[in-house]
Structure 1
Amino acid sequence: MCDKIYALNRTLSSADLYYEVELPDVFTFDHPLGAVMGRAEYSDYFEFSQGCTVGNNNGVYPRFGERVFMMSDSKVIGDCEIGSNVIIGANACVKDQDIPSNVLVFGESPNLVIKENRKETVDAYAKGVFVYD
């Protein structure tokens, strides 16, 4: 029965979120079309958008701290430790690379651009208000 419900959900929402994936108690998805969420370790206040991917590399999945926001088409793959209060920018690709807390990330591994993030920016994202500097 679980496989049938999973297939129905994937068909209706176009999001691949297998029933064995353990999402945190508090999470949000915003227009999840085309998103694929793998068996990573998620923490509360995780948020993802359309086209996002969380996957494994050689059977190792990422680990996420609290308040991680994955913007459209971003990817986190493999042995990654993502800190808390992190915004992963649109189209970013983090692969087998750790990301500290309180940062904005964009670009592609191994040449990621990591900028310090103000608490106000993370708070604004959490409220759905986007702040551009």
Structure 2
Amino acid sequence: MFQGLAMRFGVYVGPRSVMGAGLHFSHPTSVVIGDRLVLGERCRLYQQVTLAGAPGGEEAFPRLGNDVVVYPGAKVIGEGRVGNNVIIGANAVVNRSFGDNVVLAGVPARIVKRLEPVDESSLS
């Protein structure tokens, strides 16, 4: 499956990464998901997104919570992690941890807006 994604769409997924249900590639070109990463449920990734860990222990690999949208060109690298219901703006670089219900933008990424929490019961 991973080889098919790479050959057909230019999407690389590390073999030990874990993808939550409902992962969606809106424009599946030039997307890199490094090895040993964890993505939550219902994540949406646009083109030229990179999710990559840094050398070091298990804590150095980024993770996306549930209901995360990563817009084109954004990078989640090093110790970058985001919680649930997060929007990462185009070309942002996330290199540290952020909590739930935020919009991130910039290089390095910073919180530019707070969001209302998602009602989990409405997602079923």
Q: TM-score, normalised by structure 1?
A: 0.76
Paired letter, 2:77: I
CA change 1:63–1:6 in 2 (3 A) is: closer
Which is greater in Rg?
1
Paired letter, 2:42: Y
Query: For the residues of structure 2 that align with 1:89 and 1:67, how far apart are their CA atoms?
Result: 14
Q: CA deviation at 1:44?
A: 0.6
Partner of residue 77, structure 1? 77
CA change 1:14–1:113 in 2 (3 A) is: same
Q: Secondary structure at the match of 2:18?
A: coil
Among candidates 39, 45, 49, match of residue 46 of structure 2: 49
Cα pair 2:24 2:44 within 8 Å, conserved = yes
- After superposition, where does 1:52-63 map in structure 2 within 5 Å? 52-59=49-56, 60-63=60-63
Partner of residue 31, structure 2? 35
Partner of residue 65, structure 1? 65
Structure with greater strand share of residues: 2
Q: CA RMSD in A?
A: 2.1
Identity of aligned residues (%): 29
Q: How many residue pairs end up in the alignment?
A: 115
